[in-house]
Amino acid sequence: MTRDEGHCAAIETHMFGTSEAPEWLASSVRDCQSRYQGLSLTEEFQSAVNAFAVAPKRKPFELFVIGEGKFGKSTLVNCLLGEELSRVRVLPETRCFLRYVLKDEPDRIARFYVRPKQGVHDWLLRRLGAGRAVPELYQVSEHDVGLAEARDILAEETKRLDSGGYDPAVLEVERDVKRSVRSAFQSEVRVVDTQGLDQLFPDELKKQAAGLSEMSSQKLFIDWMNTTPRGKYLEWQFRRCDSVLWCVSAKRIGSAATAAALRYFSAYSKKIIIALTSVDLVAKKDGDMERLLARAEQLYGGYAVAICPVNGQMAWEALTCKANDELEACGFSKLVATIESICISQGNKVRNLSRYFAIRRTERQYRNSLRVLHRTYEELDARYKLDRRNLERARDDAKQAMTPMLRDLFAEICDGIVERTGQVSLSDDQSDAERKVGFSLAGKSAASTVTHHINDRTIPELIKIGGAIAPYSLPSFDADGQVSGSLLRVDFQPPRTILKEPKLPFSFSLESMWGKAAWLKFREFFGSKKALAERTQLERQRRGELTTEFRKHWNAYHASMAKAVAEEIDRLYDIPLKELDRVLARVEREAGSPLPAAAKKIETALASIAVQPAISNGMIRAIERVRHIRMGAHQDA
């Protein structure tokens, strides 16, 4: 260790190894819990932060055992526990997390942690009974059941999965294990046996990965981690553990899945010890072991604090036979000593460092999301105002354009009616007069023309404007706080007109005109020229009266139609305007307040971070103390 590395280690010990949780770190967690309250996404973030809070009762040191399937992982777990509990192929297809707590006086119950999917895992919840919320796990409930019932439930889960077409539950099962002389750790330790990384993936993902390049496989793994409930749950589990035992098979050094997972999880700065398994199948000649370890160091040295070759099967046989020499020979004793010295014996330091780096990363992920959300809120608020102005302007333009159109249309129809009125004589009855003039058709013709105009011109223009309105969406985020899709998306739907035709404000009738001129008809039978002239004069007079009466009512009908058209255009434009308001209301429900206020709250929260870069600050303070001492010594001299 260099002098600088020694100084850094001393500062780490001073800052992180003095107690269960230094006050400055506990304060940072509390600040994280309070700083971002009331902001969108807070519930999920709050669950993650709760995992770092100092529990009233000290939790067991948690060792997270991970690796690809068939890498000897479960055998090593059995060796660490000193009991054959995590049996190879006992429950491989359940894709669950098995947690074992070494205790002197174990409970006879199993604790199930479940994140169910409604309609798929109802049977499971019925079997488990009433549960309780887990503050540090998002949408997860905890259930206590007897060990026998737990085995039956896991068997049913496996059976359903084997039958095909079943989406396995995100499931975690914890039970106590009695500590024995064969147990690797004599302190209280929780060993978490994860399903093999490749076995955690759904079958369709494994099919997609087959034949892909290493980079493509890594991208597929990262996408799965960021976007699926099972992947996110694996990350939550990793986030809250204290240190990691990573099993890598000597037969598959360089595996794309292992490389991708190590690269992804290294961001949490956990103490990772690599157990290099199956070495007996690869290192058969002199020099093979040195070359194997050199290759492993080259690939994984940047992620791990130690790489230990071990033969898990040989270790289990040695434990059951109490052959200590063989435990040394298979590498298990060295692996346990490495875990003890690097992780468990420095439990406070390792746990606090893990807690510090994990909460720093968690806050950073959340702040990434908040920055995107802040920008989205501001953009959506500006877009809403602009889209609304554009629609209101287009609505007013549409109504204004209808004024000359209606004027010309009604004038043309009116001129035709007046012209045809001249064809009506006193000899016509009501039906003959209506056929000649076409009063009843006039209103229908006007309404039909206006309806076609709205459908053929006004609505296409509205659709054009609506098409320019991009869908309103709120982003969803992956585990790194990067945008991974849309939480909310609303598209514009074009309307069709249902113009309510106004009723004609008059009805055409010849009754009064015919009644007043009846005597002239009788006089015509006698061939009186005077009577004929009087009839002609009366017809002209009655046509004038009829035209005047018609114009008055037609103008009233024109006004009624203009009002109906304006109301219809208002109705048509109210559809997207109300849709905009509805979208805004949905967005603001998600935001928890009006968008400007929500953006301001995020801006305030982002003004500073809750978890400060404590190591850098600690080094600066140490340097300042050293300088102060030296300055004081110089002045004294």
**Residue 307's pLDDT band (cuts 50, 70, 90):** very high
Does residue 3 lie in a domain region? no
Helices (H) and strands (E) in the chain, counts: 24, 12
Q: Answer yes or no: is pLDDT of 121 > 80.
A: yes
Considering the domain architecture, whether residues 340 and 457 belong to the same structural domain is answered as no
Q: Report residue 153 as tokens.
A: 């439930």
Domains held by the chain: number = 2
pLDDT, residue 394, reads 92
Burial 593-612 (b: 16+ CB within 10 A, else e): bebeebbebbeebeeebbbe
Both 381 and 315 in one domain: the answer is no
Predicted local confidence at residue 235, as pLDDT: 82
Does the residue 360 lie in any domain?
Answer: no
pLDDT value at 214 more than 80: no
**Lowest mean per-residue pLDDT among 64-78, 217-231, 314-328, 439-453:** 217-231
**b/e per residue 151-171 (b: at least 16 CB within 10 A):** eebbeebbebbeeeeeebbbb
- Which pLDDT score, from 0 to 100, does residue 480 have? 57
> Distance (Å, rounded) from C-alpha 549 to C-alpha 432?
19
Assess if residue 336 is contained within a domain: yes
587 and 472 in contact (C-beta within 8 Å)?
A: yes
What pLDDT does 210 receive? 55
pLDDT at 508: 44
Cα distances (angstroms) measured from residue 497 to each of 284, 492, 568, 635: 83, 16, 8, 91
Over range 348-356, report the average pLDDT: 85
Chain position carrying tokens 């130690």 = 306
The pLDDT, as a whole number, for residue 308 is: 94
632 within domain boundaries: no
Residue 61 structure tokens? 């040191």
pLDDT at 94: 47
Is 260 contained in some domain? Answer: yes
Same domain, 296 and 415: no
Residue 398 and residue 269 share a domain: no
pLDDT digits (tens, 9 = 90+) for 481-531: 667 667 777 665 656 655 555 554 444 444 444 444 444 444 444 456 777
Q: At 195, is the pLDDT very low, low, confident or very high (cuts 50, 70, 90)?
A: confident
Q: What is the pLDDT of residues 610-636, one digit of tens each?
A: 888 865 655 555 545 544 444 444 444
In this structure, are 455 and 594 located in the same domain? yes
Which tokens in the block code for residue 433?
């007069």
Which of 220, 276, 483 lies closest to 368, judged by CA?
483
Task: List Cβ<8 Å contacts ≥24 apart for 13-16.
Answer: 13/349, 14/618, 15/614, 15/615, 15/618, 16/348, 16/349, 16/352, 16/353, 16/356
- Of the candidates 28, 18, 15, 34, the one whose C-alpha atom is nearest the C-alpha of residue 54 is 28
- Residue 636: inside a domain: no
Task: Give 72-90 pLDDT, tens digit per residue.
Answer: 788 899 999 998 876 543 3
Query: Mean pLDDT over residues 597-612, rounded?
Result: 90
pLDDT at 471: 77
Q: Mark which of 329, 345, 361 sits at the end of a domain.
A: 345
Tokens of 444: 């229908």
Answer yes or no: do 340 and 375 share one domain.
no
- Which three-class secondary structure state does DSSP give residue 359? helix
Q: Write out the residue range of the structural domain in which residue 80 sits.
A: 36-345
Amino acid found at 68: E
Same domain, 474 and 592: yes
Is pLDDT above 60 for 278?
Answer: yes
What's the pLDDT score for residue 444? 81
Please answer whether residues 509 and 434 qualify as being in contact, where contact means their C-beta atoms are separated by less than 8 angstroms.
no
Long-range contacts of 589-594 (CB under 8 A, 24+ apart): 590/40, 590/474, 590/487, 590/488, 591/40, 591/377, 592/38, 592/39, 592/40
Of the candidates 394, 397, 402, 395, which has an alpha carbon nearest to the alpha carbon of residue 450? 402
For position 334, what pLDDT does the model report? 94
Confidence of residue 5 (pLDDT cuts 50, 70, 90): low
| pLDDT higher at 568 or 633 | 568
For the segment 315-329, the average pLDDT, to the nearest whole number, is 87
Q: What is the mean pLDDT of residues 536-543?
A: 78
Element (H, E) at 149: helix 147-163
With H, G, I as helix, E, B as strand and everything else as coil, classify residue 177.
strand
Most confident of 423-427, 544-548, 592-596: 592-596
- Check whether residue 65 and residue 174 sit in a common domain: yes
AA letter at 501: E
Element (H, E) at 253: none
Q: Which residue has the higher pLDDT, 525 or 293?
A: 293
Phi and psi based region of residue 110 (left: phi greater than 0; alpha: psi -120 to 50; beta: remaining) = beta
Q: What is the CATH number of the domain that holds 188?
A: 3.40.50.300
Higher pLDDT residue, 403 or 210? 403
Instruction: Out of 108-117, 165-174, 459-468, 575-584, give the one with best mean pLDDT.
Output: 108-117
Residue 593 has pLDDT above 70, yes or no: yes
Give Cα 580 to chain centroid, integer Å: 22
pLDDT value at residue 491: 66
- 443/591 same-domain check: yes
Whether the model pTM is above 0.75:
no
Among the residue ranges 93-97, 314-318, 575-579, the one predicted with the least confidence is: 93-97
pLDDT of residue 626: 47
What is the percentage of the chain residues whose pLDDT exceeds 90?
22
**Residue 470, domain member (yes or no):** yes
In the predicted model, is pLDDT for residue 244 greater than 90?
A: yes
Q: Which of 9-23, 336-350, 461-475 has the highest mean pLDDT?
A: 336-350
Same domain, yes or no: 375 and 330: no
Q: Is residue 351 part of a domain?
A: no
Spatial distance between the Cα atoms of 84 and 81, rounded to a whole number of angstroms: 8
Query: Average pLDDT over the chain, rounded to whole?
Result: 79
Which residue type sits at 375? R
Residues 468 and 418 in one domain: yes
Query: Same domain for 400 and 252?
Result: no
Residue recorded with tokens 């019925």: 126
* Residue 450 pLDDT greater than 60, yes or no: yes
Q: How far apart are the first and last CA of the chain?
A: 34
Q: Which amino acid, one-letter code, is at 195? A: Q
Q: At what angle do helices 614-636 and 3-16 cross, to 10 degrees?
A: 110
pLDDT digits (tens, 9 = 90+) for 220-237: 777 777 777 777 778 878
Report the alpha-carbon angle 281-72-114, nearest 5.
Answer: 160
What is the pLDDT at residue 247?
92
Residue of 436, 433, 396 lying closest to 416 (CA atoms): 436
Q: Looking at the predicted structure, is the pLDDT value of residue 92 above 60? A: no
What is the reported pLDDT for 221?
72
